[in-house]
């Protein structure tokens, strides 16, 4: 195989792969969750999970649900909360919110500074903390 054919093959492969890399990068862009602690609870089949959620300026989580109730405290920035059946609301640092298990919701950072949330889940043990929901 000539050097020229090899280069042509690499270019074609990269061209085919690029759309998948871009989609994956966009899906992961701007929102991060870091589990800080996870403990079994006295309620059978439930665990408590502390999570630091961060949203970069302009980031929006997709609609999703959780396998348990959650309490959230806004550590930094202003978060916009979209919750099924509720009016959209903005919460500044020091604000708190509650989401019922299975309730479809999303959060966005429409500001210019990162948003940081301290989230406490009372979740069903062994289930993923977040399940995406199509619009």
Of 52, 67, 135, the closest CA to residue 99 belongs to 67
pLDDT surpasses 90 at 98:
yes
Considering only residues 1 and 112, tell me which one the structure prediction assigns the higher pLDDT: 112
Residue ranges covered by each domain of the chain: 30-132
Question: Is residue 16 over pLDDT 50?
Answer: no
- The answer to whether 93 touches 74, Cβ cutoff 8 Å, is yes
Q: Picking from 18-22, 25-29, 126-130, which range would have the lowest pLDDT averaged per residue?
A: 18-22
Helix (H) / strand (E) element for 10: namely helix 3-28
Lowest mean pLDDT among 30-34, 43-47, 53-57, 90-94: 30-34
Domain 30-132 has CATH 2.60.120.10: yes
**Rounded Cα distance, 75 and 71, in Å:** 13
């Amino acid at each position: 195989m000539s050097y020229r054919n090899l280069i042509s093959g690499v270019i074609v492969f990269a061209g085919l792969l690029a759309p998948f890399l871009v989609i994956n990068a966009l899906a992961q862009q701007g929102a991060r969750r870091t589990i800080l602690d996870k403990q079994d609870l006295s309620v059978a089949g439930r665990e408590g999970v502390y999570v630091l959620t961060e949203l970069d300026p302009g980031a929006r989580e997709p609609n999703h649900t959780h396998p348990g109730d959650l309490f959230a405290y806004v550590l930094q920035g202003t978060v916009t909360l979209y919750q099924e059946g509720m009016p959209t609301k903005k919460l500044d640092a020091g604000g708190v919110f509650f989401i019922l298990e299975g309730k479809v919701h999303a959060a966005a950072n429409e500001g210019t500074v990162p948003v940081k949330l301290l989230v406490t889940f009372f979740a069903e043990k062994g289930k993923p903390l977040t399940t995406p929901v199509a619009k």
